[in-house]
Copies of this chain bind each other. A is one copy, B any other.
C-alpha cells in the first residue's frame, strides 16, 4: 500500500482526510466511477461530502496522482496507475475496463502522419470490444 500522505506532500498538496480517503478508494478499486468512489471513501470517512470527492478527484488528477478515463457512453472513472502510458480496453456490452500495454513500443502511435500544426503531448488509446464474460454469454 503506497504512502498516500507522502504522495500528497510531494506534489505540494495539503494532506486532508478526504484526499486520503479518495486516494485509498481509487487505489483499491481501479476504474471505479465517481459514485463508487464516494461510497468507498465514506467507508473510511463517513461524513465526506460528494463535493469534496469531486474536488479531490480534480485536484489529484491535476497533480498527476490519479488519472481519469472517460470512455464514450460512460461516466468518469479513475485509477492511480499513472505516468506509464498504458491504455484501456472497454467492453461495449457491460462497460468493464481493463488495462493494456500497447504492443508497438514505448510511445505508441505518438507520431501522427500529419498533425495539422498541433503540438501533440499525449496519445490516448481506447480499445473497444467484448470482455470474456460478455463474449461467452451473448445477447
Q: Copy number of this protein in the oligomer?
A: 2
A102 touches B109 (CB 8 A): yes
* Separation of A128 and B124 alpha carbons in the complex (Å): 8
Question: From A116, which residue of chain B is reached at the shortest CB distance?
Answer: B98
Interface string of A121-139 (1 = CB under 8 A from B): 1111111111110010000
How many of chain A's residues touch chain B, expressed as a range? 35 or more
Question: From A73, which residue of chain B is reached at the shortest CB distance?
Answer: B70
Q: Is A1's beta carbon under 8 Å from chain B?
A: no
- Give the residue of B69, B98, B104, B109 whose beta carbon is less than 8 angstroms from that of A118: B98
Question: From A121, which residue of chain B is reached at the shortest CB distance?
Answer: B129
Given contacts A70-B72, A104-B104, is CB(A120)–CB(B112) below 8 Å?
no
